[in-house]
A and B are shown apart, each in its own frame.
Chain A
Amino acid sequence: MGYGQCGVVSEIHYDGPASQRLLALGLRPGCRLKFLRDAPLGDPMMLETTSGVICLRRTEAGLIRVQTDP
């Protein structure tokens, strides 16, 4: 996703504790996301979701499939 882009979560790849954590934090298919920024060295990234702002590493972010808004 590009900076400031919005999207909707279409799918989460379920794979152990990381995905469970994502779910527990409120990220589910159908949830809206906005990519706010990333850290100075590129990782981790900050996302705005319907349940607040979270930050996650790119490896965990890779578990989320997003349908970006045009």
Chain B
Amino acid sequence: MKSSPADSSSPHATHKKVQATIALMGNPNTGKSTLFNRLTGSRQRVGNYPGVTVSKKTGVFRMGFNRYEVVDLPGAYSLAASSPDERIASDVLIGRKSEAPALAICTVDATHLQRGLFLACQIADLGVPLIIAVNFIDEATAKGLSIDTRLLSSRLGVPVVAISAKTGIGLGELRDVIKKSLDEPARMQLPPWSEEVQRATEFLSTRIPSNHKLSDAELRRILFDNSSSLLDVAGYPTADRPGLLKETRGYLSAIHPLSYESHAHHGFLEKALDRVVIRPSAEVAPASHGIDRVLTDRFFGLLIFAALMYLVFLSIYSFASPAMDAIEAGAGWLSEVMGAWLEPFPFLRSLVCDGIIAGVGGVIVFLPQIFLLFFFVSLMEDTGYMARAAFLMDRLFGWCGLNGKSFVPLLSSYACAIPGLYATRTIEDPKARLLTILIAPLMSCSARLPVYLLMVGAFVEPVYGPTIAALTLLFFHVIGLLAALPIAWVVNRWFLKIPPQPFLLEMPPYRFPAVSDLFWRVWNGGKDFLQRAGGIILALSVIIWALLSFPVSTSEDPAAQVENSYLGQAGKALQPLFAPAGYDWKLTIGVLASFPAREVIVSTLGIIYRLEEGQTEDPESLATAMKNDTWSGGPLAGQPVFTLATALSIMVFFAFCMQCASTLAVAAREAGTRYAVIMFVYMTALAWVAAVLTFQLVSLWI
């Protein structure tokens, strides 16, 4: 018998609260989240692990008068972490950075017992009490498999419960088993480790500074893992680690060190599983294989994929519109009501209507798109289609450091980058995820369309006709994608120091998702957005409002107000910076004002060009006003401001520039503030360079 207990003492021995932590672990695609939902229902919370962008999912599980915290750890195939997800799972279990769980429930796919139990062996080695939950028992039974849980339980020494989290089979028994295990924890009996391993851990313990004592199990984790975070805990200098590991693993000579753990545990499991699973004499080919033959077929597979993607895109782009319009109308109505009520206090009125209500409305208006996106993404993931989509698309993305899973987020970003950024959560590889986030806003989002339409309608179509105009529009939509992939390649090659993950994906069998699961994902997604990004977007909206409203101008003229505000003054001051791109001061103000949200430029320009009240949104009158505008000073005095060159330059600028406070807020939440800032800087710089180049080259040519 082996395994000394993990270092932290049992939580409920010293805790005053009647609360212990239960860790939920298991391979990906084992229905772990479904079980989590079943155990905790609405009492879920999504938080953060400090320092990492992996979400922390916790919930409360009630049994009688007792409450337990359940932590849904990310799916992992092994504690020998090769991804931040697996690293978190490992860290929480070891219990160094926070309290170790009192109990771990390991979900295992009934159709792949041995593979799932490998993780259980690793958990057991750390001395954590264990319950094995064999999920998808309904699927197994349908296939004719029968699993002798009692036999397995007696061989392993821990309770084994057959469940189907989706349908509810076995959940009552599971609850009973959980209760029993909390009172009398059961630990799995693993065979003793070989002498070689013992010598290796002894050697390792001599090398670790004595004030950072590690248990045998922890030493074994260092031995088997790629780069265990336990070495951080031990305070071992990073530079010396490769040498230490090489020397330590030198003690393992019988088999290659990296396969040692696998060999040991699988050997044990093969014996333990003997006669546990009884297969039917004739195995039926799973339905999934047949479906896959169509869905991943070279021709039809791609066709179906394209159709599905089109549907997703269309829904985010168009189907969400009625709801979004309704929200905007609601905000508008509220604004009017408050406006009338606050009539005697013009300043307060402006703050509430133009600042706060506009700001809050600007946040809520995204909810329909976000809900829709979470719905589709969850649907694809839970049915198992997402893995096939990634399989189909991987070649397109693999060469620049991304992987096939980047496709859906990038596609969604064509409608709006915000749901697109949330979609990146499906990408487990942190490097690929970060890269996708960084380039997602380059996809031409729907907010850019008004600008394109205005410019193309006013300056391209009259001269070159509708066909060229349409092609130009198409070009500007594509230009983002064409630039994004090489940029990803450059960033990947020269800047990001994170090691990439191997692209190794499991293709789960196709399954019907549990409707309640979908509901929770969509709900939590929207909630997350409101709580995290909402605050920042609101704050930024108020700031921009302030910049446009102060100092308060003495004249009634709205154009004068804009000109004399801080933003307006900044525009005039920065105009020389934009002169090489062909903008005069009015355009510069327009560009600056549109930094929080792209579409603002149309109405801002409307104000600046002194259009009548009812005409500010009318592109025709704005176009006419712009075409007639001439430079008031400087080297080009007297000449028209808006030439084809300027128009193209503006479109290029908008194509590449990061002008969306909301996207930045979400990016800060998903990737960290540092990368959000980097995103802003590189995109703005890129936009400026591209705009200048466009203007100069087109001016020469035309």
Contact of A8 with B by CB under 8 A: no
Q: Contact: B398 with A25, CB < 8 Å?
A: no
CB < 8 Å A-B pair total: 110
Nearest opposing residue in chain B for A59, CB measure? B502
Contact of B95 with A by CB under 8 A: no
Contact of A20 with B by CB under 8 A: yes
Scan B62-90; emit 1 where CB is below 8 A from any A CB, else 0.
00000000000000011010100000000
Bound complex: CA of A41 vs CA of B397, how far in Å? 11
Q: Contact: B398 with A17, CB < 8 Å?
A: no
Nearest opposing residue in chain B for A12, CB measure? B259
Q: Contact: A28 with B507, CB < 8 Å?
A: no
Residues on A with beta carbons closer than 8 Å to the beta carbon of B114: 26, 51
Task: List residues 229-261 of chain B with CB under 8 A from any CB of chain A.
Answer: 256, 258-259
Chain A, interface SS category: mixed
Partner of A43, one of B226, B296, B398, B505: B398
Q: Contact: A14 with B395, CB < 8 Å?
A: no
User: A31 CB to closest chain B CB, in angstroms?
Assistant: 10
Residues on B with beta carbons closer than 8 Å to the beta carbon of A21: 77-78, 82, 502, 504
Q: Contact: B112 with A51, CB < 8 Å?
A: yes
Q: Contact: B296 with A46, CB < 8 Å?
A: yes
Residues on B with beta carbons closer than 8 Å to the beta carbon of A53: 288, 292, 506-507
Q: Contact: A52 with B112, CB < 8 Å?
A: yes
Q: Contact: A51 with B115, CB < 8 Å?
A: yes
Contact of A37 with B by CB under 8 A: yes
Task: List residues 17-55 of chain A with CB under 8 A from any CB of chain B.
Answer: 17-26, 28, 36-37, 39-44, 46, 51-55
Q: Contact: B391 with A23, CB < 8 Å?
A: no
A51-B115, A55-B507 known; A40+B82 contact, CB < 8 A:
no
Q: Contact: A26 with B112, CB < 8 Å?
A: yes
Residues on A with beta carbons closer than 8 Å to the beta carbon of B394: 39, 43-44, 57
The count of residues in chain A whose C-beta lies closer than 8 Å to any C-beta of chain B is 31
Residues on A with beta carbons closer than 8 Å to the beta carbon of B82: 17, 20-21, 24
Residues on A with beta carbons closer than 8 Å to the beta carbon of B288: 53
Q: Contact: B396 with A41, CB < 8 Å?
A: yes
A20-B78, A21-B77 known; A40+B301 contact, CB < 8 A:
yes
Bound complex: CA of A13 vs CA of B642, how far in Å? 63
Bound complex: CA of A37 vs CA of B299, how far in Å? 13
Q: Contact: B266 with A28, CB < 8 Å?
A: yes
Contact of A1 with B by CB under 8 A: no
Partner of B226, one of A17, A54, A56: A17
Q: Contact: B256 with A14, CB < 8 Å?
A: yes
Q: Contact: B507 with A44, CB < 8 Å?
A: no
Residues on B with beta carbons closer than 8 Å to the beta carbon of A41: 395-396
Contact of B4 with A by CB under 8 A: no
Partner of A57, one of B115, B398, B499, B507: B398
Contact of B387 with A by CB under 8 A: yes
User: A1 CB to closest chain B CB, in angstroms?
Assistant: 17
A interface residue numbers (CB < 8 A to B): 12, 14, 16-26, 28, 36-37, 39-44, 46, 51-57, 60
Q: List 26 A-B contacts (CB under 8 A).
A: A16-B226, A20-B226, A21-B77, A21-B78, A23-B259, A24-B77, A24-B262, A25-B506, A26-B114, A37-B296, A39-B296, A39-B392, A39-B395, A40-B302, A41-B395, A42-B395, A46-B507, A51-B114, A52-B506, A53-B507, A54-B504, A54-B505, A54-B506, A55-B387, A55-B391, A56-B505
